[in-house]
Structure 1
Amino acid sequence: MNNLFHRTLFLITLATLFKVDSTAQQIETSSVALSGIEFKITGSAFPDTLSVVTINIENEDITETHVFALYNGLFDTTIVIPESGKYLIFFDSNESINTIVNVIPDFLSIIPPLLAIAFALLFRQVILSLLLGIYSGAIFIYDYNPLIGFFRLIDKYIINALTDVSHIQIIVFTLLFGGVVGIISKGGGTRGIANSLVKFARTRRSGMISTWVSGLIIFFDD
């Protein structure tokens, strides 16, 4: 009886030692991708006994299978999905470990910056133009829903940006720098610089050179 107990305990211990914890395995990739453009996908926590892993990518119309080589229990590669839509990416051996990628048409990526530039040129409102560009991008990302895009603009893009330390540092620096420029301008410093450059700008060529040199001096932070 004791031998049977010890043998059972030994087998349980071996099973515990060599058990593969599938819940630790995971797929990591961007939640949004562009059709026809490479995006990164990684997987980790695979047992060392595996040399390759099979990944399935599917939606209602397309099913693709990719086999990736494993190095030290992980893979790190890029894939391309040619058509737009929402795709489920999962392990062939365990469908419960998966992620969803929203693939949007590649030409949509140029619309947000074009909108921002056009709006800035027309209305001379840089901040509102940037917000419009971000908002249009959020609409594309979140299923072309303007309401959800607006909410994500606020809670994900604006609030997250304002809570990032490096972003706050840039904003504060820009405000302080703009304030100093405003003080110099109000105090007549800008006019004084212009008057000093007038005596060097006798011709069109010398005027352009003076403007170029003053630009290098003034915009030192760039």
Structure 2
Amino acid sequence: MRFFSRRQAKTQAKILNDDDNNNYPSNVKFAFNTKAHLIEKPQPYPPIKNGLVCTVVFLDGENVNFEVDRKALGKDLYDKVIIHTKLIESDYFGLQFTDTHNVEQWLDATKSIKKQRKTGPPYTFRFRVKFYTSDPRNLHEELTRYLFVLQLKDDIRTGKLDCPSGSDVELTALSMQAELGDYTSDEHSTKNVFECRFLPDYKHTEQFEQ
């Protein structure tokens, strides 16, 4: 998959407005970050007088700040996110946030952002898979499939999804092959298994790496 790379994910957030979206490069690159679920803290940004700055944490760990109107709906922010990613099959995805009761919620496209986020700024959202398909062949775009892999890997890594015994080895091997290419004893070792870890800490043992 051409979207996998060894580049570290960007943690320095930037602000995008409408003009930035129109000039965004067409050759968007995505990094495979094995610790994406740990990167959520937004970076400092200048105050916006007549707007809101919403920080979106992407599946590769990148933080991007988007400027929207103070009365903007959820759809307004999501549209900017889709333009930024150049994602075609956008119906599978959504923006998630944690409410004041520490419960994960999806940003409603038809409602005001400020009415849904009771605390802020900063207004932080996570770009995630919202709807899964029963048949992976329904995912026609390579970028969509790549984002699904990142989401599934993060869910397994954080324990949200359980990986049956036996499948864990196969999934880890496929993940490593996608990122590093075919195995060669001269270039690869058990260290690569640690770097591409797919499982929760309690399952990722030295025996598993062997």
Output the TM-score relative to the length of structure 2.
0.29
Query: Could you say which structure has the larger radius of gyration?
Result: 1
- Hey, which of these two has a bigger chunk of strand by percent? 1
